[in-house]
Structure 1
Amino acid sequence: MAAPSKRRIETDVMRLLMSDYEVNLVNDSMQEFYVRFYGPAESERCPCFPCSDSYPVRGGVWKIHVELPDQYPFKSPSIGFMNKIFHPNIDELSGSVCLDVINQTWSPMFDMINIFEVFLPQLLRYPNPNDPLNGEAAALLMRHPKEYDAKVKEYVSRFATKEAADAAAGKDEDEDEDEEMSDIGSISDDDA
């Protein structure tokens, strides 16, 4: 890996480690790690979006797997949900994310903080049923938005809890006790 790319990976991952996100590196590598991600709590969506009164992903906790290619930041990271989520733009089985800003229009101006503070919250707030990875979720959202919201809430309560997120990433029980902000000292060797 080229020195500037390696430096950028280290800078971006260190910023993420020093943020409020819980980050667990895989095998001490800054190129593969998990981030605990909480669903955005806002109860508002675009006024033209047909939905129920409550926000269906509120309270959800997901373990996000991130892999940074050697060419990062010139090539986008690979992002995947480890525990289940019912969303038109997220494959239910693999957890792959269909998001243009990550998959097609990625820019070196973006960093890891952008993904967790802007891109993923926007994806959850504003699902795009016209570009689905999950056809069932897209069809339900377009035809029966209240039923879609109910199914999202069901998935959140069943699969998007702290315990489900921990289990999805193969986290050890003694690591479960550490709910504080991660630092280099809390690197996990067993999340592979």
Structure 2
Amino acid sequence: MTLARLRTDIASLYKSSPHPDIIVPEGGPSDLTKVSVHLLGPASTPYSEGAWKVRLIIPADYPGSPPKAYFETKIFHPNVQPNSGEVCVDTLKRDWSSQVDLKHVLLVIRCLLIEPNPESALNEEAGKLLLENFEDFERMARLMTNVHALKRSSFAQSTPSTSSSTAATTATATESEENSGTIYADIDQSSQQLSVDKNVLRPLEHTQRGAAPGSPVKTTKPKKKVGMKRL
């Protein structure tokens, strides 16, 4: 790990959030290899009323290797593994570049809430619904948000420029999480806003179940064009 680079990225993140929907707690992390934030659901999406705790696990050779990202609050999303909460997106896999910082990583994760990719889903149920019936997907995503997510309204007064408000609302939401019993168990350990090109929104393509190693990946074209409403 390039410790100087990691310290720079974390300092930049904790100095100013990359987006108002990304709530960064005060004070910095006690462990530089684990960074937690709260992600607010973007407007005009089924996630708009919710908030989720997201954790980044930084590898020993960062930025040579990408961090891993996990939703610690349960979410119904095609590109989030239902059991572990792991996020799968090409930016954190084969498209990783040492020029990408932690702020960019968090922006990519937020973009997934606006435009999920059902073609290579980690949550098969969510991916199938998004492909076959967008209205049903929206209904289920909104229902699961109401059941499992933190309330976005808890963070309504939080902005990157109001650190005291951020600290208060983050503490309230964290207490709510601990009492809700809906977040995942802790995951073992295993920054300027950048423009997001079309590749960073493409989750990792997985080899189809039962395919021989090295065989080409086949994808099924959606029956109709679907997509989340953009901000």
How far apart, CA to CA, are the structure 1 residues paired with 2:101 and 2:41?
19
How far apart, CA to CA, are the structure 1 residues paired with 2:77 and 2:170?
29
- 5+ unaligned residues in a row in structure 1: which ranges? 44-54, 166-175, 182-190
Residue matched to 2:192: none
Residue matched to 1:110: 100
Structure 1 SS opposite 2:120: coil
Residue matched to 1:139: 128
Structure 1 SS opposite 2:169: coil
In the alignment, does 2:13 pair up with 1:9?
no
| Structure 1 ranges of 4+ moved more than 6 A | none
Question: What are the Cα deviations for residues 89-123 of structure 1, in whole angstroms up to 9, with x where unaligned?
Answer: 11111101110111221111111111223x01221
Equivalent position amino acid for 1:127 in 2: P
Residue matched to 2:84: 94
Aligned equivalent of 1:58, options 41, 48, 54: 48
Higher RCO, 1 vs 2 (CA within 8 Å, ≥6 residues apart): 1
Sequence identity percentage: 31
Residue matched to 1:47: none
Residue matched to 1:39: 41
Kept after mapping to 1: 8 A contact 2:25/2:170 = no
| Number of residue pairs the alignment of both structures matches | 155
- 5+ unaligned residues in a row in structure 2: which ranges? 18-22, 155-165, 172-185, 188-231
What aligned pairs does 1:113-124 form with structure 2 within 5 A after superposition?
A: 113-117=103-107, 119-124=108-113
TM-score with structure 2 setting the length: 0.61
TM-score with structure 1 setting the length: 0.73
How far apart, CA to CA, are the structure 1 residues paired with 2:170 and 2:51?
15
How far apart, CA to CA, are the structure 1 residues paired with 2:59 and 2:128?
34
Question: What are the Cα deviations for residues 145-185 of structure 1, in whole angstroms up to 9, with x where unaligned?
Answer: 1010011101111111149x9xxxxxxxxxx972279xxxx
Quote the RMSD (CA, aligned, Å): 2.5
Structure 2 SS opposite 1:92: coil
Structure 2 SS opposite 1:64: strand
